[in-house]
Amino acid sequence: MCILTSVFCFPQENQVIKYIGSINSGQANGKKSALRMISNLLFGKKETEIRNPVAVYAENPENVWILSQGNGTLVEKTENELTVLPAFRKAGNRMPSLVGICMAEGNILLTDSYNENIYKLSADGNSLEKFPEELNLERPTGIAYSEISDEIWVAETSAHRIRILDRQGNHLRYVGRRGSGEGEFNYPTHIWIDNDGTVYIVDSMNFRVQIFSHRGEYLSSFGKAGNGSGDIARPKGIATDSYSNIYLVDALFHTVQIFDRDGNYLYRFGGQGREEGQFWMPNGIYIDQNNYIYVSDNYNNRVQIFRLIK
């Protein structure tokens, strides 16, 4: 195991996690271009702010969507530009507690825990509507879409369960109830669904990750409370790479911990700070098809991008 400048050695042979760059307020790649600075001075253009990012979705490093909870908006990065999507520039569309984001058949779905709603953003970013209009949710947080089952999974945190919807937002069934047994939850939060339809759920106050089939059948779990390597203190976002390794953000440790598919601890990267590759209360995580890793670095007001390289 080793740590080099902006490079984190992965315990598997010939694999490293490399720091790629960051997305900051007004800076798509951590740097302002001279042309942008001149334009801002001439036309008085206000920079797009990223404040306390809590979740991120990405197609690739040039197409990234960031939930900026601190100012209640959704920021889009395209190439070297950061913009607030048109629907969020309209009066009344600022969200007090954005938490989760996913893409479902071309539409971005968002959860707002305080408003207790799911919202659907149109593909062009111009309209935002409740999804569906009438759906009673109890503190929705994490959300994910399964292409395998064509279903939407959303964590109802204060109800200690997962609600499963069809693509139109109709209720299908629940998974779980409050408890500490298999398939039971104590404040579930973030959800990740891999390409095979396997579902990973952060069971926050049970200090573990639970894994389910696409049909909602309990498969396994791992994790325990503690402050050692592989222990869980304040779990947040979760994701998997193309090698089925599981990445779990822990805000209290200011790190991303990595486990194998059986839940065995492998490694972690990060640490408290403001430098490249360091975090301050990180929250969400997303891994795209090419193993680019996007981490919403909450108190540093940025999204950091890494890549698993083999």
209-242 confidence digits (pLDDT tens): 999 999 999 999 999 999 999 999 999 999 999 9
Q: Looking at residue 27, what is its pLDDT?
A: 67
**128 or 40: which carries more pLDDT confidence?**
128
Q: Judge residue 14's burial from the number of C-beta atoms within 10 Å of its C-beta, 0-12 exposed, 13-18 middle, 19 or more buried.
A: exposed
Averaged pLDDT for residues 166-195: 97
- Alpha-carbon distance of 283 to 36, in angstroms, equals 29
pTM comes to 0.92
Are the C-beta atoms of 307 and 291 separated by less than 8 Å?
Answer: yes
| Token pair for 177 | 């109830």
Averaged pLDDT for residues 61-77: 95
Read off the DSSP letter of residue 48.
P
**124 or 110: which carries more pLDDT confidence?**
110
pLDDT digits (tens, 9 = 90+) for 123-147: 888 889 999 878 889 999 999 999 9
Query: Cα angle vertex 49, ends 117, 300, to 5°?
Result: 90
Question: In this structure, how many other beta carbons lie within 10 angstroms of the beta carbon of residue 3?
Answer: 11
- Alpha-carbon distance of 19 to 254, in angstroms, equals 16
Residue ranges with strand state E in 171-253: 171-175, 188-193, 199-203, 208-212, 218-222, 235-240, 246-250
Averaged pLDDT for residues 55-82: 94
| Token pair for 19 | 């720091």
